[in-house]
Amino acid sequence: MKTIRTYNNIAAKGLNKFPQDSYRVSADEAEPDAVLLRSHKLHTEALPKSVLAVARAGAGVNNIPVTDYTHQGIVVFNTPGANANAVKELVLASLLLGSRGVTQSMNYVKSLADVNDPHELHKKVEAGKKQYGGCELEGKTLGVVGLGAIGAKVANLALSLGMKVIGYDPKLSVEAAWRLSSNVKKADNLNALLSRSDYVTLHVPVVEATKEFMNDDAFAAIKQGAKLINLARGELVEENAVLAALESGKLSAYIADFPSQNLIKNDNVILFPHLGASTVEAEENCAVMGAEQLIDFLDNGNITNSVNFPAVSMERTSGYRITFANDNVPKVLGVVLNLLADLNINVLDMVNKSRDDIAYTILDIEQRPTADLIQKISSVEHVFHVRSV
Ligand SMILES: NC(=O)c1ccc[n+]([C@@H]2O[C@H](COP(=O)([O-])OP(=O)(O)OC[C@H]3O[C@@H](n4cnc5c(N)ncnc54)[C@H](O)[C@@H]3O)[C@@H](O)[C@H]2O)c1
Ligand SMILES: O=C(O)[C@H](O)COP(=O)(O)O
């Protein structure tokens, strides 16, 4: 029986993917084969030695110490694009909330609950509305920082609303570029985007290069009166810098998914409780994708959508499967194959891929691998993980 430890609220549609006759899934597994989670932070937690893989049912993996796990042979997965539509739709709400005094005017109407005379109420409604006049999105410019799964959907949506769209993504993948309308204008650098955008929306991961990249310099470059939407991560925006930009009027609104005490107190900040991916559809998509990737890895050794291991998949042959991970240096594969040859073990099929400084191999052999064979492969220099699948 394989076991999966879950954290957070994982949609039942995903949990039901694990076959009941071969998997046990719960929050209490002491020595799980894998972990399935959402935003639970693993940085301060030691994982049991039994863990082979961690699946993040979602996009951001900044809650997982990915680099530490890599050399322990722990494969980390995420679910690219599975919640992109949910975030895109909340960006649409953010654009409108930032433009039309929606929440403020709703609060004004609520404050009229005790005005019982219909004529008096009508007068107050008509007199009050002038405080909440807004502007339209059509014709305005949206700057999209990060044009991956979410950014591309947001950019295309904004075009359909009649907005002009500028994008900035120095690491844009070819696949992501294919998803993007050719009407999205390319900014050569961040400041070129910031200085021309009425609205700026962030869709990049938190990594060393993006931490607090929205700092004093960025707000100095931003267009006077711009509005900033951040449904990506709080750490992308330096808090004192955004508060100062709001105070000076350089920024007219900040709409974000990551509350802090200082932000909550500011009237020009609209905050959600990390709601971007919280739709039935997104939660199910993420849970299903995460579960399927874990099952294929645990049952077959195949790796799809890992953030630290190469993508490697091979159809099963009639034989027995071994997988191993090693430092990406010359000769390791050759040594393992020689070892098999010396033991007169026939290889039926094989695939080997590398990513940065690690490599991963799937080998189908003709005979059942013994504990001694697994031990011998483990002892090969630079091999740090071996599994009979
Ligand atoms: N609020 C939420 O609930 C929620 C939901 C989903 C994702 N997110 C956040 O949004 C982020 C993006 O998600 P995604 O699914 O679009 O991911 P993605 O990997 O598809 O896209 C990220 C894009 O950012 C680009 N990028 C990386 N560094 C950059 C930089 N320095 N400047 C500009 N672009 C850069 C990449 O090239 C990529 O195209 C996630 O990492 C996560 O932190 C939040
Ligand atoms: O990175 C993500 O996918 C989002 O931040 C969603 O996080 P959640 O699954 O905890 O809602």
Maximum separation of any 2 CA atoms in the chain, in Å:
96
> Which amino acid appears at position 226 of this protein?
A
**Residue 84 alpha carbon, nearest atom of ligand 1:** 15
With 90 as the cut, is the pLDDT of residue 319 above it? no
CA of 13 to the centre of ligand 1 (A): 25
**Which ipTM score applies to this complex?**
0.99
State if residue 59 touches ligand 2 by the CB under 6 angstroms criterion. yes
Can you give the pTM of this predicted structure? 0.96
Contact 327, 357 (CB under 8 A): yes
**Residue 78 alpha carbon, nearest atom of ligand 2:** 3
166 to 84, 148, 153, 228: CA distances (angstroms):
19, 14, 13, 14
CA of 63 to the centre of ligand 2 (A): 10
State if residue 143 touches ligand 1 by the CB under 6 angstroms criterion. no
Query: Is domain 1-83+279-309 annotated with CATH 3.40.190.10?
Result: no
With 90 as the cut, is the pLDDT of residue 171 above it? yes
CATH topology of domain 84-99+135-271: Rossmann fold (3.40.50)
The whole-number pLDDT of residue 259 equals: 98
Write the residue with the smallest CA distance to atom 6 of ligand 1: 59
φ/ψ (deg, to 5) at 153: -65, -40
* Separation CA 112–CA 325 (nearest Å): 66
> Which amino acid appears at position 214 of this protein?
M
CA of 377 to the centre of ligand 1 (A): 38
Please, what is the average pLDDT of the chain?
A: 97
Tokens 């405080």, residue located: 131
What does the pLDDT average to over 176-202?
97
What does the pLDDT average to over 131-135?
95
State if residue 148 touches ligand 1 by the CB under 6 angstroms criterion. yes
The whole-number pLDDT of residue 71 equals: 85
Write the residue with the smallest CA distance to atom 9 of ligand 2: 38
Confidence of residue 318 (pLDDT cuts 50, 70, 90): confident
* Separation CA 370–CA 388 (nearest Å): 9
**Residue 274 alpha carbon, nearest atom of ligand 2:** 11
The whole-number pLDDT of residue 288 equals: 98
Write the residue with the smallest CA distance to atom 1 of ligand 2: 60
Tokens 């071994």, residue located: 322
What does the pLDDT average to over 8-21?
97
What does the pLDDT average to over 100-114?
95
CATH code given to domain 314-389? 3.30.70.260
Query: For residue range 320-352, what is the model confidence (pLDDT) as tens digits?
Result: 999 999 999 999 999 999 999 999 999 999 999
In terms of DSSP bridges, do strands 199-202 and 185-186 run parallel, antiparallel, or are they unpaired? unpaired
Query: For residue range 15-73, what is the model confidence (pLDDT) as tens digits?
Result: 999 999 999 999 999 999 999 999 999 999 999 999 999 999 999 999 999 999 998 99
φ/ψ (deg, to 5) at 226: -65, 165
CA of 148 to the centre of ligand 1 (A): 6
With 90 as the cut, is the pLDDT of residue 275 above it? yes
The whole-number pLDDT of residue 289 equals: 98
Let me know if the fold of 84-99+135-271 is the same as that of 314-389: no
State if residue 39 touches ligand 2 by the CB under 6 angstroms criterion. yes
3-state class of 83 per DSSP? coil
Q: Ligand 2 test: best mutation among 7, 9, 37, 39, most atoms within 8 Å of CB? A: 39
Listed residue (211, 188, 187, 200) closest to 140, CA to CA? 200
* Separation CA 260–CA 357 (nearest Å): 38
Helices marked H in the chain — which ranges? 12-15, 66-70, 84-97, 102-110, 118-128, 149-160, 174-178, 190-196, 216-221, 239-248, 261-264, 280-300, 332-342, 371-378
Listed residue (207, 214, 252, 218) closest to 230, CA to CA? 214
Contact 314, 342 (CB under 8 A): no
33 to 7, 78, 240, 294, 295: CA distances (angstroms):
14, 17, 43, 10, 11
CA of 30 to the centre of ligand 2 (A): 25
* Separation CA 333–CA 103 (nearest Å): 61
Ligand closest to 278 (CA) is 2
The residue ranges of every structural domain in the chain are 1-83+279-309, 84-99+135-271, 314-389
In terms of DSSP bridges, do strands 53-56 and 347-355 run parallel, antiparallel, or are they unpaired? unpaired
DSSP 328: S
Contact 56, 288 (CB under 8 A): no
What does the pLDDT average to over 362-368?
96
